Structure 1
Amino acid sequence: MRSQDYDRIYLSPPHLGRHELNYLHKAIEDNWVAPAGPNLDGFERDICEFTGAAHCVALTSGTAAIHLGLRLLGVGPGDTVLCPSFTFVATANPISYLGATPVFIDSEATTWNLCPQRLREAIEASLRQGRRPKALIIVHLYGMPCQLREILAIAAEFDIPILEDAAEALGARYDGQPLGTFGAVGVFSFNGNKILTTSGGGALVTNNADWDKKARFWATQAKDDAPHYQHSELGYNYRLSNLLAGIGRGQMGLLDDRVKKRREIFSWYQKHLADLPGLSFGPAEPTGGRANRWLTCVLLDPTQTTVTPELLRQHLEARNIESRPLWKPLHLQPLFAGVPMFGGEVCADLFTHGLCLPSGSALTEADLQRIAETIRDAFACHHHA
């Protein structure tokens, strides 16, 4: 059969419920379509309620939230910011927006997130050069909590503030506490492929009331309190629209269910594909960590199978099933050529051997069966021990 004979199965498509339309209709009826209005306030309250954060600012993207968050932490020209290499480029781009330089750090093999040992090396190397890193960005990749206990202890020891990039990790927890609330600033994304979506959108959370005010001010073009347009500081057009916030309100009520479903999908794959030679699942939860399993990822061991991630990706694509390589580490990107890197073997190895499988929360049993059969078929055709 040709690929077009099958319905497309996407990697992580939006999954809307029934209530989003109610909020949208209300906004349109009341003419609240600007980046202000009851949905926006309500969405921010919903996020605070779910995470336990004191303040939330809803923004146009997770990237905008990282940009404002780093600015709140005082990052500016000439500063260095510690950042994992194994993440999407949006984690690091705002460092460059502010004229600062990233210092990349390798992953550890369990959670695939920032390696505490390499983090310590990077900090000590910076201090030896007489430079104190201005901030540390931590990421919970694929909705997997990083080794927070160790990382928080190191950051505290050297007094380096943390921006917590939980763009992929809404609904995941560590020691029962929602991710996004461990750093001085936390960031979420509501992009179309995330566990919840507002089509495009993001949020910044903090317990600091002054920072909440400042972030709102910067996000609305930094307009001074005057009857005319008066500006004393650089601002941005970063505020989420009331319409999109309405979609977010409808989605927030579904979060626990979405996390449950994504975790079930991960378990389903594990159960039905565990016997394939050289195929393993990752990342693994750290002690105290509970992932949202935003994406299910597999690794292929070349010592046990000749099936490579690219071969498997093409095999799935031939049956109209989308899969995707793991993030290409940032220290290997042309954009960041020459940027300092501590370690690198672990994340480079993950990129070489990993693949993300379709993980959308609307996947049916029949969809999962079709994906699993296609993967089995790839192994039947190409696997040679």
Structure 2
Amino acid sequence: MSSPDVGALEERYILEALRSGWIAPLGPDVDGFETDMAERIGRKHAVALSSGTAALHLALLARGVGPGDLVLTSTMTFAATANAIVYSGAEPYFIDCLPETGNMDPALLSESLQELEQTGARVAAIMPVDLLGKAVDYRTIQVLAGEAGIPVIADAAESLGASYMGRPTGSWGDDAVFSFNGNKVMTTSGGGMLMTDDEAVASKVRYLATQARQPTLHYEHTEIGFNYRLSNLLAALGRAQLSRLDDMIERRRQIREHYRELFAAVPGVEIFGGANDAEDNCWLTSVVVNESEAGWSAKQLSEALGDVNVETRPLWKPMHLQPVFQQHRRRVNGSSDRLFESGLTLPSGSAMKEQEMSRVVQAIERFLTARMN
């Protein structure tokens, strides 16, 4: 689907870090990676962490989110978003999506805020998700959040390198979070980053991420902390990857264009979110299939590609449909359910070679030809 894109440059960076002796967590490459990311995104502070999930968790804690609170978030997302909310002791409240993008529907968010205000519920944060590398409607969401006095923690785990209204994702929201998991546009094997302009939030996250150790010679702890910091070796990998980020995004865009051309004349099939994707990072390319128009389903295409060892997967199963989250409150309109049923994600990684891309395209063409006959 999206294998890591690493090579000689990454090897050199890691070897230099290894030979420097900075093997234990933290070190000069962590500091440098944070500086590089802050400069790239235009934030005052960046904190390198062990995962995007860890960054979401600590962002919530740093904003004072805890038991008895509600956090309004996207239902169309990976489980890590909702898990982090539960880790904080708060309750996730799921908001459905716009059918064109899969991103949080601002109108449903507005309705939920109004209803919850009337019930006296405490909404401690709003956590929208940039789905598959397309930014949410931050302009509208931030206006709604500002009117209600609620912080926005942007889950930009999937959107590094994308932008919204000319500004990089990660620069929107009170705080924002990136993921560097192995399947992301760029990777540190495992890792994440908190982005913020709030010095107090950055300091709190650094403190909590290093076991909440007090500044004494001996080990002194007055509250529970976490082992959430990124290692120096992985930060070195991240610095190499960041230097190649734009080229890797361009390769993913080329792959998307291959798929766009392939499906252009196929009735009932469209590139998911592709009508307006100039600011996307094209992390993953998915298609949405209208079975009644196409004459075949996303599941049938997936099975045919699986038969020739081409990996695919459905779009995210919405959180409100997940057994572990079914008891939580939500405002849904069916959009995410339909995307889960009709969407299919195709191989999209920048490490794909042309012959690999050709093999995928030929397999899809064979499927389409068989369906037309």
Identity %: 44
Residue of 281, 287, 304 corresponding to 1:315: 304
Residue of 171, 177, 182 corresponding to 2:167: 177
Q: What is the alpha-carbon distance in structure 2 between the residues aligned to residue 207 and residue 168 of structure 1?
A: 21
Q: Is the contact between residue 43 and residue 246 of structure 1 (CA under 8 Å) also seen in structure 2?
A: yes
Residue of 333, 350, 371 corresponding to 2:360: 371
Q: Is the contact between residue 213 and residue 221 of structure 2 (CA under 8 Å) also seen in structure 1?
A: yes
Secondary structure of 1:198's match? Answer: coil
Call closer, same or farther: CA 1:383–1:151 in 2, change over 3 Å. farther
1:32-43 correspondence runs (5 A):
32-43=22-33
1:223-372 correspondence runs (5 A):
223-284=213-274, 290-372=279-361
Residue of 129, 134, 139 corresponding to 2:119: 129
Equivalent AA in structure 2 for residue 71 of structure 1 = L
| Corresponding residue number in structure 1 for 2:51 | 61
Q: Is the contact between residue 143 and residue 172 of structure 1 (CA under 8 Å) also seen in structure 2?
A: yes
Secondary structure of 2:39's match? Answer: helix
Equivalent AA in structure 2 for residue 22 of structure 1 = R
Number of residue pairs aligned between Structure 1 and Structure 2: 373
Structure 1 spans left out of the alignment, 5+ residues: 1-10
| Corresponding residue number in structure 1 for 2:150 | 160
Secondary structure of 1:203's match? Answer: strand
Q: Which has the higher helix share?
A: 2
Q: Is the contact between residue 305 and residue 383 of structure 1 (CA under 8 Å) also seen in structure 2?
A: no
Q: What is the alpha-carbon distance in structure 2 between the residues aligned to residue 145 and residue 179 of structure 1?
A: 7
TM-score computed with the length of structure 1 as normaliser:
0.94
Residue of 178, 190, 193 corresponding to 2:180: 190
Q: Is the contact between residue 82 and residue 133 of structure 1 (CA under 8 Å) also seen in structure 2?
A: yes
Deviates more, 1:210-219 or 1:57-66: 210-219
Q: What is the alpha-carbon distance in structure 2 between the residues aligned to residue 360 and residue 182 of structure 1?
A: 26
Offset at 1:303?
Answer: 1.4
Q: Is the contact between residue 68 and residue 122 of structure 2 (CA under 8 Å) also seen in structure 1?
A: no
Offset at 1:368?
Answer: 2.1
Secondary structure of 1:303's match? Answer: helix
Q: Is the contact between residue 65 and residue 203 of structure 1 (CA under 8 Å) also seen in structure 2?
A: yes
Offset at 1:365?
Answer: 2.7
Equivalent AA in structure 1 for residue 132 of structure 2 = Y
Offset at 1:200?
Answer: 0.5
Residue of 88, 100, 108 corresponding to 1:110: 100
Offset at 1:148?
Answer: 1.7
Offset at 1:380?
Answer: 2.7
Please give the root-mean-square deviation of Cα atoms over the aligned residues, in Å.
1.4
Offset at 1:97?
Answer: 0.8
Q: Is the contact between residue 138 and residue 173 of structure 2 (CA under 8 Å) also seen in structure 1?
A: no
Secondary structure of 2:48's match? Answer: strand
Offset at 1:285?
Answer: 6.0
Matched, 1:25 2:15: yes
Structure 2 spans left out of the alignment, 5+ residues: none
Alpha-carbon deviations, 1:129-168, whole Å to 9, x = none? Answer: 0113110001110000111221111111211110001100
Q: Is the contact between residue 103 and residue 136 of structure 2 (CA under 8 Å) also seen in structure 1?
A: yes
Offset at 1:108?
Answer: 0.6
Equivalent AA in structure 1 for residue 125 of structure 2 = A
Q: What is the alpha-carbon distance in structure 1 between the residues aligned to residue 344 and residue 131 of structure 2?
A: 14
TM-score computed with the length of structure 2 as normaliser:
0.97
Secondary structure of 1:15's match? Answer: coil
Secondary structure of 2:154's match? Answer: strand
Q: Is the contact between residue 162 and residue 169 of structure 2 (CA under 8 Å) also seen in structure 1?
A: yes
Q: Is the contact between residue 63 and residue 201 of structure 2 (CA under 8 Å) also seen in structure 1?
A: no
Secondary structure of 1:92's match? Answer: helix
Secondary structure of 1:134's match? Answer: strand
Equivalent AA in structure 1 for residue 64 of structure 2 = G
Equivalent AA in structure 2 for residue 317 of structure 1 = G
Q: What is the alpha-carbon distance in structure 1 between the residues aligned to residue 52 and residue 136 of structure 2?
A: 19
Q: What is the alpha-carbon distance in structure 2 between the residues aligned to residue 175 and residue 46 of structure 1?
A: 22
Offset at 1:362?
Answer: 1.9
Q: Is the contact between residue 111 and residue 147 of structure 1 (CA under 8 Å) also seen in structure 2?
A: no
